Amino acid sequence: MDKNQLWQTILGELELIVSQANFMTWFKNTRIASIEENNGLVVIAVPNSFTERWLRSKYHKNILEIIQNITDGKLKNIVYQIETFPLTKQTVFSSAVQVIKESINLYDFNPNYTFEKFIVGKGNELAHAASQAVVKNPGEKYNPLFIYGGVGLGKTHLLQAICQATLKQKPKLKFLYTNAEKFTNDFVEAIKAGLMTKFRKKYRSLEMLLVDDVQFFKGKEGTQEEFFYTFNTLYEKEYQIVLSSDRLPKAIPSLEQRLISRFEMGLIADIAPPDYETRMAILKAKSAERGQVLDQEILDYIATHILNNVREIEGALNTLIAHYELYHQPVTLDLAKEILARSIVKPAHGSLQIREIVNAVSDFYGLRVSEMISVSRKKETTLPRQVAAYLLREILETSFPAIGKELGGRDHTTVMYSYEKIKKEMEAGGKIKEQINLIKKKLNLV
């Protein structure tokens, strides 16, 4: 059993249920140190005792479940073992001074996140073209470039592709890739340690800045202010800024107006879920990379069953390939169905499914699901639909486009609007809040 292969597959599955920031923080420098098949033991190497404790207390159950699933229960015991890594690679709990000193391009880019490996389709062609333009003429045409789209649709891939192409084509350009969470932590640490001058120097002396997942800035006023000045400094010097977010600037709750208008100043490029052709092209490219072991009908099965998220498409493919590589057993369509039924598209929230939430809402309002998601704009159906959108987002963190699809093929901007509207009403308290609490009770969530 190839332990690296196995660990990559497990990480692929974990990525689906853990937020990107947590994933980077806790799983970055982990690997399988060894496997003892005769007593079903896996030894997972982690970089420090903190990670060890964290994995043990927060993610052990998930890791175990995935390992058992992939190996058909052959591996069922996990031991964590601490391994020391070089300092520069640690992302967590390095002291503030190290964070500030961290030199510009130490970030480990994912070698797969390049333009060469990015499949272009209808949903992402604008974001892709704009990203390439940014490498060619940074700061000139689209500044800032704001890429937005649902989870797992390639935002991070594109941002890192920009970085990797820039490293090759303009090796002297001083740029930094980070995410809003890291920027925030960096800022907080700098304040605590009294190192704001250094902090400012680090960010304001850049010639290009890429910030992933800026929706994370929501509600963080101090950080927003600091970022505003960073942004202005670079922008005035006509240096390129690239941002990504899972929603439009306007739709990021409690983002200051002045930042919203800055974010909207350049080009806003959205990434929509891939259509069938793109899903198929992605599957073909990724399976070819891995040595093409799966039949067309199996790829077709994946492409027709996983619709909204490239990460999940990859996860399904990896699971099947790992099964093949681990057991040297040909993957038939039936076997694929069986394996995938067990492992794919598990929602991030326990076992609760989109359908159950939609059903609970329509039930509560005494409607049939078909009525609730119909084209009707009558108040009796509009409100339940908005509540369903709100709950899907709030509980499962379903992407807006995916919610739109679930609720009768609605546009994601409509869904965003619904979500924001109900959210405001929730904050104001009153009837809606009561209703939503009752629905949550029905779902055993409160």
Site residues for Mg ion per CB under 5 A: 20, 155-156
By CB under 6 A, the count of residues binding ligand ADP is 18
Taking CB within 5 to 8 Å according to partner kind, which of Mg ion, ligand ADP, none is near residue 279?
none
In whole angstroms, the minimum distance from the beta carbon of 179 to Mg ion comes to 8
Residue 415 binding ligand ADP, by CB under 6 A:
no
C-beta of 24 vs 372, nearer to ligand ADP: 24
Residue 414 binding ligand ADP, by CB under 6 A:
no
Binders of ligand ADP in range 152-211 (CB under 6 A): 152-157
Please check whether residue 400 is in contact with residue 150, taking contact to mean a CB–CB distance below 8 angstroms.
yes
Binders of ligand ADP in range 133-152 (CB under 6 A): 149, 151-152
> 3-class secondary structure for the chain?
CCHHHHHHHHHHHHHHHCCHHHHHHHHCCCEEEEEEHHHCEEEEEECCHHHHHHHHHHHHHHHHHHHHHHCCCCCCEEEEEECCCCHHHCCCCCCHHHHHHCCHHHCCCCCCCCCCCCCCCHHHHHHHHHHHHHHHCCCCCCCCEEEEECCCCCHHHHHHHHHHHHHHHCCCCCEEEEEHHHHHHHHHHHHHCCCHHHHHHHHHCCCEEEEECHHHHCCCHHHHHHHHHHHHHHHHCCCEEEEEECCCHHHCCCCCHHHHHHHCCCEEEEECCCCHHHHHHHHHHHHHHCCCCCCHHHHHHHHHHCCCCHHHHHHHHHHHHHHHHHHCCCCCHHHHHHHHHHHCCCCCCCCCCHHHHHHHHHHHCCCCHHHHCCCCCCHHHHHHHHHHHHHHHHHHCCCHHHHHHHCCCCCHHHHHHHHHHHHHHHHHCCHHHHHHHHHHHHCCCC
C-beta of 124 vs 185, nearer to ligand ADP: 124
Selected binder of ligand ADP within 32, 42, 282, 372 (CB under 6 A): 282
Binders of ligand ADP in range 310-369 (CB under 6 A): 310-311, 314
Selected binder of ligand ADP within 80, 118, 263, 301 (CB under 6 A): 118
Taking CB within 5 to 8 Å according to partner kind, which of ligand ADP, Mg ion, none is near residue 314?
ligand ADP
The site map against ligand ADP for 233-272 (x = CB under 6 A) is ----------------------------------------
The site map against ligand ADP for 66-105 (x = CB under 6 A) is ----------------------------------------
In whole angstroms, the minimum distance from the beta carbon of 289 to ligand ADP comes to 10
Taking CB within 5 to 8 Å according to partner kind, which of Mg ion, ligand ADP, none is near residue 119?
ligand ADP
C-beta of 13 vs 314, nearer to ligand ADP: 314
Residue 10 binding ligand ADP, by CB under 6 A:
no
Selected binder of ligand ADP within 69, 90, 94, 112 (CB under 6 A): 112
Which residues in this chain contact ligand ADP in the complex, by CB under 6 A?
112-113, 117-119, 124, 149, 151-157, 282, 310-311, 314
